[in-house]
Structure 1
Amino acid sequence: MFRIGFGIDFHQLVEGRQLWIGGVNIPHHKGALGHSDADVLLHAICDALLGALALGDIGIHFPNTDLAYKDIDSKILLQHTYTLIKAKNYKVVNVDSSICLEAPKIKKYSGEMRKVIAAILEITEEDVSVKATTTEQMGFVGREEGLVAYANVLLQKS
Structure 2
Amino acid sequence: MAITDVRTGLGWDSHRLVPGGEGGRPLILGGVRIESELGLDGHSDADVLTHAVIDALLGAAAMGDIGEHFPDTDERWRGADSIALLEHVAGLVAGAGWTTTSIDATVILERPKLKPHKAEMAARLAAAAGIDVGRVNVKATTAERLDAVGRGEGAVAQAVATIVRAS
| Number of aligned residue pairs | 158
Q: Which structure's CA Rg is the greater one? A: 2
Q: TM-score, normalised by structure 2?
A: 0.93
| From 55, 69, 72, the counterpart of 2:80 | 72
After superposition, residues 108-147 of structure 1 pair within 5 angstroms as: 108-147=116-155
Q: Aligned partners of 1:59, 1:122: CA distance in 2, in Å?
A: 22
Cα deviations across residues 1-59 of structure 1 (Å, max 9, x unaligned)? 11100000000000021000000000000000000000000000000000011111100
Q: Aligned partners of 2:67, 2:130: CA distance in 1, in Å?
A: 24
Q: Aligned partners of 2:53, 2:69: CA distance in 1, in Å?
A: 14
- 5+ residue gaps, structure 2: none
- Name the residue aligned to 1:39: 47
Shift of 1:90: 0.4
Structure 1 residue 152 and structure 2 residue 160: aligned? yes
Structure 1 residue 60 and structure 2 residue 60: aligned? no
Determine what percentage of the aligned residue pairs are the same residue. Answer: 46
Shift of 1:115: 0.7
The alignment yields a C-alpha RMSD, in angstroms, of: 0.7
